[in-house]
Chains A and B, each alone.
Chain A
């Protein structure tokens, strides 16, 4: 195939893998904490965070990106916590109330005060992985290292605080700080992945490989490894298929992850027979 000679394909593959690994790692933690929909919220609120960072500094790279992630993570989680504390607001509704409003503020912002920032709606939703710039490649690399190091080195306290919050608190672990840290890392990954693969594909790589890995793995470490392998596989399969079939690369990656999930679901459903009452 002539494809193997194309440098843009290798760049896109590299970027895809750089995005996939931290997404999968943080996705596992969110999954186990039953916060998968927080990934949805954070991947959307990355937009107002980025916009604020751009308005304050005029930059969309490096430290500005980091500050934007910090702002969006803190504001989103604080607001969701606040809305949950309002009497008679449904718990699940809190997420659905907060993030669309913040995302809308971001959208209104980019069409009024933020016209100069290179943020357009198609790019936000779909990403542009075939045209990544060097700066976002380095930026994603800078995101990857702290996420991988923190999740891998701290996986034992992380698992403890995730599976038994009460016991972890009694054992002296800073449970609240760990929760905040997890959300900050998720926001950092969302922001880093933002201009390469877009909002909803980020959500896909955060949630689907983690859900698949949960069905395969028997320990937290196994789950982390399986999720990374699945996410990288989805990126590679999706990217190649999209080039061959003329589809959008980012969406095809998510579809590949979903197909892998379907295969694993079918494969494991013959051995497990858990039934839950459906919500709808």
Chain B
């Protein structure tokens, strides 16, 4: 065992430095947020919508930076949110009025928006100053660069998200599983759907800084899918998914501290993939296999 490796691992756990505390806090918080909101996305069959939205934040980030010239995180986040919501609107329009197939419309929206962001990147990297470094952090995520204020804002958003989930649990549950029954029970499943989708955009934008926009979708899908394997109750699923997301966030921040050059985002996703593989492997040993003889595609 490498002594330097062990030394750095213990150094992180001692939480001696403030930036270590804040990076761990923000990674855990982002993991929990993604875990909780990911459950609704996976249950609604929107697993890949998170991927498209996350990629679609890039043009917003670039435009916000180019137009205002500031790399203040509030400005960048605002741009990212605007373009994420815009991508969702285009996706909705393509599927509803364009008659495009769901999988193709996802790929088209993802590629077009990200392409626009990539096109603008030339201008961003051509601009002087440390400002562009702020944008680079969004691509692969860098929890270590989170300031204390941002970490506390993230924590506040997590608390708000959990409170909203608890408050509207019944409405969310009914309109996810049975929209017609939800309507009969006096809820408005259409509004719930729009609200959940908008909330997804907000969570994605908040998570982009810590996980990176390429990998946000994985943190939405992996903890939720793992929790859905284990539990049959929605409340337990939400709890497990949130806990797993937080755990992955912690491990990601830890690994990023131990090995120089390893970004937080990829480390989080590798950890989540490992947990999923273990749980899925264990489950297929325990539970009998599904019929998969006649399934198209793969």
Contacts and interface: CB of A to CB of B under 8 A. Distances in A.
Contacts of A250: 115, 118-119
Contacts of A90: 42, 45, 47, 225, 228
A125 to B, nearest CB: 7
Interface string B261-296: 111011101101100100010011001111010011
Contacts of A37: 48, 103, 106-107
Interface stretch (A77-85, A140-148, A225-233): A77-85
A101 B269 contact: yes
Interface string A201-227: 101101110110010000000000000
A210 B107 CA distance: 11
A105 interface: yes
B218 A100 contact: yes
Interface string B177-193: 00000000000000001
Given A77-B298, A86-B284, A280-B46, A121 B139 contact: yes
Interface of B is mostly: helix
A90 B101 CA distance: 19
Contacts of B110: 40, 200, 203
Interface string A100-127: 1101110110011001000001000110
A277 B265 CA distance: 34
A279 interface: yes
Nearest to A176: B298
Interface stretch (B24-32, B120-128, B147-155): B120-128
B214 interface: yes
Given A101-B270, A108-B266, A126-B118, A275 B99 contact: yes
B273 A97 contact: yes
B119 A248 contact: yes
A96 B122 contact: no
B107 A40 contact: yes
Given A96-B217, A121-B140, A279 B49 contact: yes
B111 A208 contact: yes
Given A80-B298, A85-B289, A125-B214, A276 B99 contact: yes
Nearest to B88: A280
Interface in A149-201: 165, 179, 198, 200-201
Contacts of A31: 101, 104
Interface in B142-163: none
Contact of A203 (B48, B50, B107): B107
Contacts of A261: 108, 112
B235 interface: no
B210 to A, nearest CB: 14
A274 interface: yes
A84 B280 CA distance: 11
Contacts of B266: 103-105, 107-108
B221 interface: yes
Contacts, number: 248
A279 B122 CA distance: 34
Nearest to B89: A280
Given A104-B218, A108-B267, A258-B108, A89 B99 contact: no
A75 B207 CA distance: 29
B119 A242 contact: yes
Nearest to A256: B115
B17 interface: no
A78 B104 CA distance: 22
Contacts of B284: 85-87
A200 B118 contact: yes
B120 A248 contact: yes
A265 interface: yes
A132 B221 CA distance: 36
A217 B126 CA distance: 41
A278 B122 contact: no
Contacts of A134: none
Nearest to A259: B112
B117 interface: yes
Contacts of B217: 96, 100
A112 B261 contact: yes
A74 to B, nearest CB: 13
A39 interface: yes
Contacts of A64: none
B115 A201 contact: yes
Contacts of B107: 36-37, 39-40, 203, 206-208, 211
Contacts of A125: 118, 139, 214
Interface string A245-264: 01110111111011001000
Contact of A35 (B103, B126, B265, B287): B103
A175 B220 CA distance: 34
Contacts of B287: 87
A-B residue pairs, 9 tightest by C-beta: A254-B115, A251-B118, A251-B119, A100-B218, A101-B273, A204-B111, A258-B112, A274-B99, A104-B266
